[in-house]
Amino acid sequence: MTDTPHHVPQPSSAGANAITALTTPDDTAKAVVIYSGGMDSYTVLHRALRAGFEVHALSFHYGQRHSRELETASRVCQQLGVAHQVVDIRAIHGLIGNSALTDATQTMPDGDYDADNMAATVVPNRNMILLSLAIGHAINIGANVCFYGAHGGDHVLYPDCRPEFVEGVNAVAAIADFNPVRIAAPYLHASKHAILADGLSMGLDYAQTWTCYLGGEYACGQCGSCRERLAAFATQGIDDPLAYAAPEKMS
């Protein structure tokens, strides 16, 4: 079923003016960052660090098809000296496993992001689950904000990356405990190329990210995630530093 325009909010702007500014209330403010190891969360991680937060990064193993992103996330956090936990929640795989991202027997769709060919990549209620755990961790360590990398390009396909979802989770997080936690998505209205431009302005090395839905030696270059990433680099007029599979190397 395809969403109607009423249910598919569009990003208000594709440029830097769509990026939410980060502020810290004091010099000791803590933040939890949901960090997958991909481009978006990598940029969010660095923005939180540069804003002065004491960052506690959380990565989740929920039964995804490969662990390349998680390995990348661990390596980056070790290099940065950032507190990092990889949380193993694979026990829930049987509850949310009906997705091409979690079921290796399903064919991974190729092509650009749209509701027709990429719906198979939706993991049921993923961000609600991950944010709920991140909020609990934030309360446990005395942090009052959780960051995640939802962006404007996700709105068509992923309901849990839309502004209404962020607003709703924020409302719940404010009353779910005696210690309210804020959900922050600084790129909620920004495009992928705006995120990349922001990261490049910080001098970030995107060779330290993994975006491909497949976990091969090389990024496939064909899945929707790869194609969106490559398009963002093309918009910036630079080459992606990741190695991509030549056609003869692709399975």
- Show binding-site residues for ATP: 35-45
Cβ-contact 65, 101 below 8 angstroms:
yes
- Token pair for residue 46? 């660095």
Half-sphere exposure in the Cβ direction for 149 (13 Å, CA): 26
What residues form the annotated binding site? 35-45, 212, 220, 223, 226
What residues form the annotated binding site for Zn(2+)? 212, 220, 223, 226
User: Rounded to 5 degrees, what angle do the CA atoms 100, 188, 148 make?
Assistant: 65
**Interhelix angle 192-201/224-236, nearest 10 degrees:** 50
- Token pair for residue 40? 């978006």
